[in-house]
C-alpha cells in the first residue's frame, strides 16, 4: 500500500509538471504567432517604404520623403534595410538622394545610436548598414574609435566607413589595415568598388608592396576578367614570397581560362601540398580544362584523380533530371 501523503505528493508533482509543459507549449505558440505577425508587418512596411523610395528617386521634382508609421517599433530598422539595400545597387547622385532620405528621417543617427549601444556582431551589423550610406565627417569621427574593437567585423566595417567617406584615401587605408583580408572582406571591398566608390586600376595594386593591396588587385582581376595583366599574374605566381597571394594569382589565371603550361606555373603546382593540388585539380576540372593539360600539370597521381573527376562531372551532366 502506498501511503496517502505520497500519493498526494505524486499527484501534485504530476499536475505541476503537466501545467509547466502546457505553459511552455503555450508560450512557444504565442512567440511563434508574434514572430509571424512581426514578419508580416515588416514585409508590408518594407513594401510601402520601397514605393516611397522609388517615387522620390524617379521624380523629376523635389519630393519630400514621407515614410508612414516610422514611430512604430522596428520601423526604423526596416527603413534602414530598405535604404541600404537600394544603396548597394545605385551610384552617383542616387546615393546622395538616399543619404538625404536617411538624414531627413534620422536613420543615420538612429544607426549610430544602435552602434554605440550594441556589442560584437550586433554592432558590426549596424555598421555594415551605415557603411552603405553617405555620412558626415562628424559621424565618421565618432565611428573611428571602433578601429581597435575586439570584434574583427567591427574593425573591418570601421575601415569600410572611412574609405566610403573619403575614397581618395582608400588605397592608403587598405594598405595600413593590420590584418590580411579574408574572402568575405575582399568580396565586400569589390562590392564597394562596383558601386563606383573605389578606384578600379588594378596594375598598381598588383605591384604594391602591401599584401592586402595585392589581394584586392587579384580579386578585381578575377571579378572583371582583366586579361591585360596576365604577365603580372605569372610574375606573382613565380616570385611572390606570400604563398597565399601566389595561389590566388594562380586561381585568377584559372578563372580566365589561361594557358597553364609555363615552367613557372608547373613548378608552383608541383611544390604545393597534396590537399592544395587536389583542390586546384577540382577547380581546373570545373573550369573545363582538358585531361591532357591536367596530366601535364599534375603527373600520373593527380592525373588519375582528375580523370575520375571528369567522369563524375560527365555523369552528373548526362544524368541530371534538369537537362
pLDDT, one tens digit per residue, over 64-73 is 677 888 888 8
Q: CA-to-CA distance for 251 and 126, rounded, in angstroms?
A: 33
Per-residue pLDDT band for 218 (boundaries 50, 70, 90) equals: very high
pLDDT at position 6, please? 59
Query: Which triple of cell numbers denotes residue 92?
Result: 552617383
pLDDT at position 53, please? 84
C-beta contacts of 116-125 below 8 A and 24+ residues apart? 116/142, 119/151, 120/150, 120/151, 120/154, 121/151, 121/153, 123/149, 123/151, 123/154, 124/151, 124/153, 124/154, 124/156, 124/157
Q: Is 90 exceeded by the pLDDT of residue 215?
A: yes
pLDDT, one tens digit per residue, over 72-90 is 888 888 888 888 888 887 7
pLDDT at position 323, please? 39
Q: Is 60 exceeded by the pLDDT of residue 136?
A: yes
pLDDT, one tens digit per residue, over 173-202 is 999 998 999 999 999 998 888 777 666 678
Crossing angle of the two packed helices 291-319 and 263-270, in degrees rounded to 10: 70
pLDDT at position 159, please? 93
- The pLDDT > 90 percentage for the chain reads 17
What is the arithmetic mean of pLDDT over 116-133?
90
How far does CA 141 lie from the centroid of its chain?
A: 24
What is the arithmetic mean of pLDDT over 129-158?
90
Q: Is 80 exceeded by the pLDDT of residue 203?
A: yes
pLDDT, one tens digit per residue, over 104-114 is 888 889 999 99
Query: Which triple of cell numbers denotes residue 134?
Result: 553617405
Query: Which triple of cell numbers denotes residue 313?
Result: 562531372
The DSSP secondary-structure symbol of 149 reads -
pLDDT, one tens digit per residue, over 228-243 is 888 899 889 888 888 8
Query: Which triple of cell numbers denotes residue 275?
Result: 590537399
Q: CA-to-CA distance for 74 and 69, rounded, in angstroms?
A: 10
Higher-pLDDT residue of 78 and 28 is: 78
DSSP for 271-294?
Answer: TS-HHHHHHHHHHHHHHT--HHHH
Q: Is 50 exceeded by the pLDDT of residue 272?
A: yes
Q: CA-to-CA distance for 176 and 70, rounded, in angstroms?
A: 40
Query: Which triple of cell numbers denotes residue 48?
Result: 510601402
Q: Which of 1-10, 45-54, 253-262 has the lowest mean pLDDT?
A: 1-10
Residues whose CB is less than 8 angstroms from the CB of residue 204 and which lie 6 or more positions away in sequence, other chains included: 171, 217
Q: Residue with C-alpha cell 554592432?
A: 123
pLDDT at position 70, please? 81
pLDDT at position 169, please? 84
pLDDT at position 92, please? 64
Instruction: Report, in angstroms and rounded to the nearest whole number, the Rg of the chain calculated over CA atoms.
Output: 28
CA angle 85, 87, 88 (to 5 degrees): 70
Per-residue pLDDT band for 123 (boundaries 50, 70, 90) equals: very high
Per-residue pLDDT band for 157 (boundaries 50, 70, 90) equals: very high
How far does CA 224 lie from the centroid of its chain?
A: 18
pLDDT at position 191, please? 85
pLDDT at position 283, please? 87
Q: Is 50 exceeded by the pLDDT of residue 319?
A: no
Per-residue pLDDT band for 4 (boundaries 50, 70, 90) equals: low
pLDDT at position 35, please? 65
Q: Is 80 exceeded by the pLDDT of residue 143?
A: yes
Closest of 44, 113, 119 to residue 79, by C-alpha: 44
Q: CA-to-CA distance for 202 and 284, rounded, in angstroms?
A: 25
Q: Residue with C-alpha cell 537600394?
A: 86
Q: Is 50 exceeded by the pLDDT of residue 292?
A: yes
Main-chain phi, psi angles of 166, to 5 degrees: -135, 90
Let me know: does 158 contact 143? Beta carbons within 8 Å: yes
Q: What ranges in 166-260 are assigned the alpha helix state H?
A: 170-176, 183-194, 203-206, 211-224, 230-239, 243-255
pLDDT at position 29, please? 67
Amino acid at each position: 500500500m502506498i501511503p496517502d501523503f505520497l500519493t498526494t505528493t505524486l499527484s501534485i508533482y504530476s499536475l505541476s509538471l503537466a501545467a509547466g509543459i502546457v505553459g511552455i507549449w503555450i508560450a512557444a505558440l504565442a512567440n511563434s504567432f508574434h514572430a509571424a505577425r512581426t514578419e508580416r508587418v515588416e514585409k508590408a512596411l518594407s513594401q510601402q517604404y520601397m514605393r516611397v523610395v522609388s517615387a522620390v528617386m524617379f521624380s523629376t521634382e523635389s519630393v519630400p520623403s514621407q515614410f508612414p508609421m516610422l514611430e512604430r517599433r522596428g520601423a526604423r530598422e526596416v527603413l534602414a534595410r530598405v535604404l541600404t539595400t537600394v544603396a548597394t545597387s545605385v551610384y552617383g547622385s542616387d546615393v546622395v538622394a538616399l543619404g538625404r532620405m536617411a538624414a531627413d528621417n534620422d536613420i543615420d543617427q538612429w544607426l549610430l545610436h544602435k552602434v554605440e549601444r550594441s556589442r560584437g556582431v550586433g554592432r558590426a551589423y549596424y555598421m555594415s548598414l551605415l557603411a552603405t550610406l553617405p555620412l558626415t565627417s562628424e559621424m565618421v569621427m565618432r565611428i573611428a574609435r571602433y578601429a581597435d574593437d575586439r570584434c574583427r567585423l567591427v574593425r573591418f566595417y570601421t575601415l569600410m566607413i572611412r574609405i566610403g567617406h573619403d575614397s581618395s584615401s582608400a588605397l592608403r587605408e587598405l594598405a595600413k589595415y593590420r590584418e590580411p583580408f579574408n574572402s568575405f572582406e575582399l568580396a565586400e571591398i569589390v562590392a564597394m568598388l562596383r558601386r563606383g566608390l573605389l578606384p578600379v586600376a588594378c596594375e598598381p595594386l598588383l605591384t604594391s608592396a602591401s599584401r592586402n593591396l595585392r589581394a584586392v588587385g587579384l580579386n578585381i582581376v578575377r571579378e572583371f576578367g582583366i586579361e591585360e595583366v596576365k604577365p603580372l599574374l605569372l610574375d606573382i605566381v613565380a616570385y611572390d614570397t606570400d604563398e597565399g597571394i601566389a595561389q590566388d594569382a594562380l586561381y585568377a589565371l584559372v578563372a580566365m581560362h589561361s594557358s597553364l603550361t609555363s615552367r613557372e606555373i608547373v613548378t608552383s603546382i608541383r611544390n604545393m601540398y597534396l590537399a592544395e593540388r587536389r583542390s586546384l585539380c577540382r577547380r581546373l576540372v570545373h573550369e573545363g580544362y582538358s585531361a591532357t593539360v591536367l596530366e601535364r600539370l599534375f603527373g600520373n597521381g593527380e592525373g588519375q584523380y582528375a580523370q575520375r573527376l571528369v567522369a563524375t562531372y560527365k555523369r552528373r551532366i548526362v544524368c541530371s533530371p534538369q537537362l
